[in-house]
Amino acid sequence: MKNAWFAALFLLAPLAASSDGMPAAPYIQVNGHGTLEVIPDMAYLSLSIEKTAPEAAAARADVEARTAKVLDAARKAGIVDKDIDAPSVSVYPEYGCESAAFSSASGGCVRKITGQHVSRSVTLTLRDLSRYGELANALFKAGVTDLGNMDMDRSDRRALEQKARALAVADAHDQAAGLAQSAGVTLGAVYSIAEQGNNFDPRPMMARAALAGSSAASPEFLNGKIEISADITVFYLINK
């Protein structure tokens, strides 16, 4: 990814005061960008178990039974309990049109409850990516309704974010020094520096698994990278 570099040079006359927090002296403002591309070593999997039945109790019993199998499969794949998030179930009615019953007031069919929908979401933190295929197959066999894309991550992401910030600072300084040289002035001290927010780009790394019961091979895990970047804004004073 190409770095988007933006810089602006401000040569302002000294001001008595600045009410908006800007330097009350000539300054150079630059935006610095730093990017790291690294291979992920962990992932977050979000999955759901769902069932619709005429009675909520029957739907919930089915969901809870499959959830127990899902949690067992996760533990067998080496996922410890602290890396498993399985909140309580949610229940809501599903509606359909009652046959041969229409409401002129609503201009359509009369809604009727056709069943109770029960769902439970589970989030797993997988710290050994080599076991993804094994885990995905086990989850489908356990009755997962939907296995969404993984969110890739790094266990040392905070340290990598700091490295990205350091690259952004170096980028900002290089830009400011170049602007100062071009303008025939001397770059002074940093007046302020602010981070614009960390950017984290988890790229899809795997092919979807086949549904339970399929004879397909284990889901393929594709090697790739994630991008961790930082953007900062720096104000440098200009020496007299």
Mean pLDDT along residues 196-204: 62
Identify the burial level of 176 via C-beta atoms within 10 angstroms of its C-beta, where 0-12 means exposed, 13-18 middle and 19 or more buried. buried
Q: What is the pLDDT of residues 50-72, one digit of tens each?
A: 999 999 999 999 999 999 999 99
pLDDT of residue 100: 57
The structure's pTM equals 0.71
For tokens 């979807």, name the residue. 208
- The strand pairing partners of 233, in sequence order, are 31, 194
Which of 67-71, 122-126, 169-173, 217-221 is the least confident region?
Answer: 217-221
Q: Which residue has the higher pLDDT, 190 or 5?
A: 190
CB within 8 Å of 97: residues ≥ 6 apart: 108, 109, 110, 111, 112
Helices marked H in the chain: 56-76, 132-142, 157-183
Domains 6-39+157-202+228-239 and 42-153 share a fold: no
**Single-letter amino acid, residue 192:** S
Strands 27-38 and 226-239: antiparallel
- Domains of the chain, residue spans: 6-39+157-202+228-239, 42-153
CATH class of 42-153: alpha beta
Distance between CA 71 and CA 152 in Å, rounded? Answer: 21
Q: What is the pLDDT of residues 89-139, one digit of tens each?
A: 999 998 888 765 555 555 567 788 889 999 999 999 999 999 998 999 999
pLDDT of residue 213: 41
Q: What is the DSSP string of 178-213?
A: HHHHHHT-EEEEEEEEEE---EEE----BPPPPPTT
Distance between CA 215 and CA 141 in Å, rounded? Answer: 12
Domain 6-39+157-202+228-239 has CATH 3.30.110.170: yes
For tokens 């009410």, name the residue. 19
E strand or H helix at 6: strand 6-10
Question: The tokens of 203 are what?
Answer: 């790229």
For residue 86, how many other CB atoms are within 10 A of its CB? Answer: 18
